[in-house]
Amino acid sequence: MIKKLLAFPLMLAFVMTPTLGQAKGNISAGESKATNCISCHGGNGNSMIPTFPKLAGQHASYTVRQLKDFKDSERNSPMMAAIAINLDEQSMEDLGAYYASQTISDNLPPVIFSDDDDDDEEAANRNNQEELKTLMSIGADLYRNGNLKSKVSACIACHGPNGEGNLPSSFPAIRSQHADYLIKALTDFKKGIRTNLPDTMMHLIAQKMTEREIKAVSFHISMMK
């Protein structure tokens, strides 16, 4: 009996240690450092600007790596370089832990606008609705199955069935991200503008995607929860 009682805290310590070792960031320290981020990324990491990414619910390891890459100019963004230059490693860890603890907000369904002022507004609206339906189904199919013909890998393999990403592999969560930011990110990968980690395959994947596929899969991901 005594042996068992003694063994319990020991076992607990053994189980807890690796988790403690990983949790380098401090959530409340991160929350106060995040006041500098609110203007662009919103309160609790849910940006209101569709081309600025939401950070809420993102894996801490991914956030930290992006911040390092902005600081070292491995990922190009003049706005973020100016911010990241002032962050030390502990601050990055704290910010990563804070945003990981927040919940990402839902998006409104995507909307397709007519290019020019159509004479027949009703017909244009109907066409836009049809196009939206088509894009959503192309996006869902691409996410699950990839494109066998053009050899686009299925997103699900790395970003998970619900866009939750993969924590141990540091594959980012992408669900409920703004569609406009997703389109920008994928286009940047495609054109080689987003430069960090060429070995992640996102360059190769995006290069094989058409603009229409990028839009379709971004619409789909923006509605994933």
CB of 40 or CB of 167, closer to ligand HEC? 40
158 near ligand HEC (CB under 6 A) = yes
Q: Which x/- pattern, by CB under 6 A, does the window 57-96 give for ligand HEC? A: ------x--xx---------x-xx--x-----------x-
Pick the piece of the chain touching ligand HEC (CB under 6 A) from 6-14, 105-113, 120-128, 147-155.
147-155
CB of 85 or CB of 123, closer to ligand HEC? 85
136 near ligand HEC (CB under 6 A) = no
Q: Which of 102, 22, 88 is nearest to 61 (CA)?
A: 22
- Of the chain, the end-to-end C-alpha distance in Å amounts to 47
Q: Which x/- pattern, by CB under 6 A, does the window 178-207 give for ligand HEC? A: ----x-xxx---------xx--xxx--x--
CB of 6 or CB of 82, closer to ligand HEC? 82
At 41, the amino acid letter reads H
Could you tell me the smallest distance in angstroms from the CB atom of residue 172 to ligand HEC?
5
99 neighbors 30 (Cβ within 8 angstroms) = yes
Q: Which of 137, 157, 164 is nearest to 202 (CA)?
A: 157
At 66, the amino acid letter reads Q
Q: Which of 159, 155, 160, 161 is nearest to 205 (CA)?
A: 155
Q: How many CB atoms lie within 10 A of CB 125?
A: 13
CB of 125 or CB of 207, closer to ligand HEC? 207
Structure tokens at 134: 């088509």
154 neighbors 144 (Cβ within 8 angstroms) = yes
Pick the piece of the chain touching ligand HEC (CB under 6 A) from 8-16, 19-27, 118-126, 150-158.
150-158
Quote the CA–CA distance of 175 and 144 in Å, as a whole number. Answer: 14
159 near ligand HEC (CB under 6 A) = yes
Quote the CA–CA distance of 189 and 155 in Å, as a whole number. Answer: 14
Among 56, 104, 155, 179, binds ligand HEC (CB under 6 A): 155
Quote the CA–CA distance of 183 and 97 in Å, as a whole number. Answer: 26
Among 135, 171, 176, 216, binds ligand HEC (CB under 6 A): 171
36 near ligand HEC (CB under 6 A) = yes
At 99, the amino acid letter reads Y
Residues that bind ligand HEC (CB under 6 A): 36-37, 39-41, 52-53, 55, 63, 66-67, 77, 79-80, 83, 95, 142, 152-153, 155, 157-159, 171-172, 174, 182, 184-186, 196-197, 200-202, 205, 217
